[in-house]
Amino acid sequence: AARAGRVEFRNVTFAYPGAEAPVLSDISFTAEPGQTVAIIGSTGAGKSSLLGLLPRLYDAASGEVLLDGVPVTRLDRAEITQRVAMVPQRPYLFSGTIGHNLRFGKPEATEQELWEALTVAQAADFVQDKAAGLDSRISQGGTNVSGGQRQRLCIARALVTEPKVYLFDDSFSALDVATDARLRRALKAKTADATVIIVGQRVSTIADADQILVLDKGRIVDRGTHEELLESSSTYQEIVES
């Protein structure tokens, strides 16, 4: 039996409501369980929009987005959120304790599960350093934690739900290179069977992906591994050198 978490985009085109020009045109790719697919491209290329089609923040205008072979438009939201966790570009923490925030997708999670997720997300140290630990309060919008801490707490929150598919939208951008590398090593070990789709700006974040999609103006202009793209893609070379 196929492992769960296979993602497939088939000739997907998408335009925002009211906008004339499509933001995504003829997008096709497959991400298998155990694989990491990275998406890179200049600002406005459509990377976040692409990720948003899987949890159905929006639906494709044409083509199909499939999860384990079933169009997401035929799945109900609960089925999707059970299998897919997205860490958005501007991750949101609500006012409440760190524990509340981490349990958002799985209210019954044990403290041990929370600490495991925090450890993978490289956030255990700073939570431990707080006098109240998991009971420390986050202010509205998470303004009393740094951008990098917020990213790591939101990554931990996604880990707690143990999804089949992880969507990381530039989730590592506020981390220093060493923390980024440690986090992704831990993540890889923890999510070995999961499908990971990651939008990244930094080459070090995406270089070890099984497949990199180079997005430009809503189209996949090149695809391959880091080494292949360095050889074949002038767009990729420009991004790498910028």
Which residues lie near ligand GTP (CB under 6 A)?
16, 19, 23, 41, 43-49, 89
Pick between residue 16 and residue 94 the one whose CB is nearest to ligand GTP.
16
> Which residues, 6+ apart, have CB-to-CB distance to 205 below 8 Å?
38, 172, 180, 184, 198
Give the nearest distance from C-beta 237 to ligand GTP in angstroms: 18
Q: Mapping DSSP to helix (H, G, I), strand (E, B) and coil, where does residue 27 land?
A: strand
> Which residues, 6+ apart, have CB-to-CB distance to 196 below 8 Å?
31, 35, 36, 37, 165, 166, 168, 187
Give the nearest distance from C-beta 239 to ligand GTP in angstroms: 11
Pick between residue 169 and residue 180 the one whose CB is nearest to ligand GTP.
169
Pick between residue 19 and residue 189 the one whose CB is nearest to ligand GTP.
19
Beta bridge partners of 84: 165
Which residue is listed with tokens 């991750």?
91
Give the nearest distance from C-beta 49 to ligand GTP in angstroms: 3
Pick between residue 4 and residue 174 the one whose CB is nearest to ligand GTP.
174
| Whole-Å CA distances, 184 to 27, 132, 175, 176, 224 | 26, 27, 11, 12, 20
Pick between residue 48 and residue 233 the one whose CB is nearest to ligand GTP.
48
Give the nearest distance from C-beta 44 to ligand GTP in angstroms: 4
CA 234 to chain centre: 26
Give the nearest distance from C-beta 218 to ligand GTP in angstroms: 7
Strands 137-138 and 70-71 turn out to be: unpaired
